[in-house]
Each structure stands twice: as structure tokens, then as C-alpha cells.
Amino acid sequence: MTKLTHFDATGRARMVDVSAKDVSTRIAIASGEIHMQPETLDHIQQGKLKKGDVLAVADVAAVMGAKKTPDLIPMCHPLMLSGIDVSFTELEDHCGLSVAVSVKCNGKTGVEMEALTAVSTALLTIYDMCKAVDKAMCLTNIQLEEKSGGKSGEWKRT
């Protein structure tokens, strides 16, 4: 097992020094789901919620979440992100939506946390905008799907 890099020799948390790493194109894709009542999904699809276009707002929230990741996760490096793509898909097996976010940068450290934060922020935004009609919504399966770049190279969920 690889040792944890966010702790020093005495066990204190630290931000990893990436100054000696090479700059490379880094991409991470994360996904997550929100399960809901059929009426809630219908309200989202037909634009019947008083707060507005849920998916448009969740799309912007995902971008903001990725950009604000180092403000939320203490040991994350501030990164100059070069691209963020957000997509929503209706779930076939459950009533709900899946969100996928791809984050890209040219840098010395990866963008996995930015992609995961973006997904989480999008899902939380959907919950916030729909909670008046469905408090039982469930956020689930927030996970890294794939990443590329850097010393560790490519990884894909199988």
C-alpha cells in the first residue's frame, strides 16, 4: 500500500510540496446520482419548480464547486483550471439523475478533488432546489470514474 502523502513524519497534516513535479495535462472525471420521487423528476424536466431551471443552476454550481475546491478541502492546491464539462443523464434503473463532471488543467497536481467537489455541489444544488417537494431525495455513488496525467498516469474504474 502506498503511504499517505498528506502527513509528515510526525503524523501532522500538511499540504504536499509539488514544486519538483513536472507540469502535465491532468484530467479527472467524477460522477454521482440523486434519487427522487417520480413527481420530483417530472417537476425538474418540465421546469415546474418555483426556484427556476434546476439543471442550469446545478451546472453553474458544479463549475463554482470545482473552482472553490481549495477553499473547502484544506490540503488541496489552488489550481488554474482550463476546462470543466458538466452533463446530466436521467437514470434508467432508479428514478433520478446522474451527473458527470470532467475537469482539466495543465499543472503539477491532479484534479480529482475538483471533479468530486463539482459533482457533490451539483447534486446538493439539485437537492436544495427540490427539497420543498421531496425531502427524501438521496445523493449516492459519488465517485471518481477516471483520471489521467501526472506520475501515476491513467486510471479507470472497472
Residues with catalytic function: 128
**Residues 6 or more apart from 67 whose CB is under 8 A from it?**
81, 84, 114
How far, in Å, CA of 122 to CA of 101, rounded? Answer: 9
Burial class (CB in 10 A: 0-12, 13-18, 19+), 135: exposed
How far, in Å, CA of 99 to CA of 122, rounded? Answer: 8
Cell of 32: 454521482
